Every structure is written in structure tokens, then in C-alpha cells.
Amino acid sequence: MKQFLTKCLVRKKEGDTLTSDVNNKVVHISTVHHPMDPRIMLKECQSLAACGYDVTLIAKKTENLPTKLNGVNITFIKKYNSRLLGMLLSPIEAYFKAKKMKASYYHFHDPELLPLARMLKKSTNTVIYDIHEDYETGIVSRNYLTKPIRVFLSKVYKQVEKFTIGPLVIVLAEKYYKEKYPKGICILNYPTIGEKSIKKREEKDFSDNYRLLYTGNITEDRGALAHALLPAIDHHISIHLIGKCSRPLYHAMKDLAGDSAERLEVTGVGEFVTKDVIDKAYEEKWLAGVAIFPDSDHYRRKELTKFFEYMLAGLPIICSNFPKWKDFIEKYDCGLTVDPTNTKDIQSAITYLKNNPDEAKRLGENGRHAIENELNWEVEATKLESLYKTQQP
């Protein structure tokens, strides 16, 4: 992000800032995501604040967070122990707080907030709906409700979206969402560069390396059970998963790992893991970053954020061989793809990297080069700034 911030500072010195606007207030709103969500806070909010916008984030109350962070104001709403109660009351509280701020820009990040986004839309403001996921298929893939209910909720969401989305500006975190939202503007979820304390790729050493890494939320649909089996597939390797993991799933993973459970480590059992903890882990010595997901409509076409982070860290990727994922890995020559249902295929990929450290390093270097030159947030931040300027009310 260093280059982007430098550009904003230069523009401020030259007088081309946004502070002269009558109202340059921006309010980002999420009742679901953590206030330190990387896309919302660390990328979008802080990038806009650096360019002179008066930015406020409305999010759930979280301990040990100040009310202002790196130029971004934080307004907290109550956090409920009951999931249902939170779904009902949190959006209402967020709406009234947002309305009182009388901002020029309202930027929403959760599908359940769509009716409130529509209510906030006036001729004097711009309301942005930031689509992080393919919610229509994502609702169906969740396992916390029975499938008929999930299918029903997916259809309800689609109808609510159809009714409310008309006057909103649509921002897309994934390229393939353009198929459903052709008028959407892609602000892709690429990693920031320039300020990370990740070791340079020349310093990576893949010899005698038997540690695999997974980062991000740990759930069954994100391959938690497949990852738990990796130590049993290869008795020399260990895997460390860093991300929020429910306690029941953690115990299920340990049980599944059996005699190899001591080589299965999880950081984030029952708690949110901040980005700085994950970034610190990338400095350690790893054989590869893994994403061996089971097949699903929701994930098979996504370019996972963890792909880009593994690449920035100079790690080769081992992931499922979904056609889109395979095309991505082959395009940047940055890893290996495997059949997620075939243990021999997975074992073969791990063994190949173990036995060929120079090749592992080459794949990692290819990935990092792609991030430094193309797939980075600095490029996307410029697009975000341009979007705000063109949509100025």
C-alpha cells in the first residue's frame, strides 16, 4: 500500500484533495464482519482515509479496539450472544447510527443489510453494495441449517436483492461475479504489498521442509476435514491452520487425524485471528500453502484470497484441481493442483515439493512476482478511489 499512500500524500500537498468537498463523509457498515476485517478496514477504509475522506466504520463491539484507527473512525454497535437476536437488532441499530451521520457515501458489506441500504439511498448520497461472496450459492453451501431451509433462504435473498439493488452502486470482490452483476465494478481482494514484514523470496529455504500452512476461516466447506487428514497421508509432514475455528470442528479434526493429531496445529479455536498474526506466520518456514477444498458451487470458481497471500509470501500452492483453480495455478505457474478426493494424488504433490526444494522455490518466486507486478491492492485501491470520485453525489 506504500505506493498508493505516497500518491495520496503528494496529491494533498498539491491541493488536489477531497477535504474541500462540502461533505466527504464515508460510512462503511457491517454487522457481520469483524471490525478489523482485512478487506473492509485494512484495505478499503484505510485507503479512502489516506486520500482525504472522512471515514467511519460501523461494526460490532470488539474489546481492545480504539474508536479511531489509522485515520478511520469506528462506531460500535452492540454484540449479541444470540445469533438470531443479532440478525434482527444489529441492522436496525446500524441503520439509525448511519442515518444520523448524513454521509455522502454509504458502503455496505452484508446481504442482510440490503433493505437498510435501500432505505438510506437519497438523491443526495451514493450507496454502495460491496459483494464479497456469491451469496446465492453460498447460503446453500452453509451447514448450520437443513438444506431445504437453505435453498429457501437463497431464493428469498435473490428476491430481496432484486427488489433493493436497483439504485445502488455494485462493487465486486471477485471477477466471476460479473456474470450475475454485469454492471458491477470489480475492486478485487488482492493483498497489499510494500508494508509487510514477509521475508524476501530469495531468503526462502525449502530444503528439509515438512510444514504445510493454511490461513483463513476454518470450516468444513473450506476443507477442514481434508486438511486434518494430511498428517496421516504423509507421516513426515505437519500442518498448521491459522483462522477462526469452532470448538466442535476442532475436536472433530483432531479425532479424524487420529495417531497423527500431534502434527495438526490450529490457531484460532473459538476466536477471531487478526491479520497481523497471520502475516507473522508467513515469515516462518513452510513447504507450501494449502487449500484442498471439497467441490462446491460456491468455491469452484473463486480466486481465493489465500492464493494471493501464499503467493506474496513466496509459497507454492497445493489446492484442489477445480478447472478455474487449475487454470489460475497454471497461468502463474505457482503451485500444484490435486484431486481433493484422492489421497494418493495429494501425497504425490506433497512428496514432489519435499523432494524438489529448488522447484518449490521457483513456484513460490513465480507467485510473488505475479503479486508484485499485477495482483496487488495498490492497483485496486486506485480503482476504488476512482469509483468514489465518479460517483460523487
What residue ranges of the chain are covered by domains with CATH 3.40.50.2000?
2-190+377-390, 201-373
CATH number 3.40.50.2000 given to 2-190+377-390: yes
In whole angstroms, give the CA distance from residue 341 to residue 351: 17
pLDDT tens-digit series, residues 35-57: 999 999 999 999 999 999 999 99
User: Would you state the pLDDT for residue 19?
Assistant: 44
C-alpha cell at 43: 484495505
Helix, strand, or coil (residue 336) = strand
In whole angstroms, give the CA distance from residue 48 to residue 17: 11
Q: 159 CB contacts (<8 Å, ≥6 apart)?
A: none
How is 265-284 classified by DSSP, letter by letter? EEEEETS---HHHHHHHTTS
In whole angstroms, give the CA distance from residue 271 to residue 99: 31
User: In degrees to the nearest 10, what's the CA dihedral of 242, 245, 248, 249?
Assistant: -70
CATH number, domain 201-373, options 3.40.50.410, 3.30.70.20, 1.10.10.60, 3.40.50.2000? 3.40.50.2000
What is the mean pLDDT of each successive set of 10 residues along the chain, which is 393 residues long? 53 47 85 94 96 96 89 94 85 96 96 92 96 72 67 78 92 92 94 61 73 96 96 96 97 97 97 92 95 92 93 96 97 98 97 96 96 93 96 86
Q: Estimate the share of the chain in helix, then strand, then coil, as percent rounded to the nearest 5.
A: 45, 15, 35
Residue whose entry in the numeric block shows the C-alpha cell 437519497:
122
First to last CA, the chain: 27
User: Would you state the pLDDT for residue 308?
Assistant: 96
Considering the entire predicted model, what is its pTM? 0.82
**Residue 185, H or E segment:** strand 185-186
**Contact assessment for residue 392 and residue 325, using Cβ atoms and an 8 Å cutoff:** no
Q: Phi and psi dihedrals of 258, rounded to 5?
A: 60, -125
Q: Phi and psi dihedrals of 255, rounded to 5?
A: -60, -40
In whole angstroms, give the CA distance from residue 287 to residue 318: 10
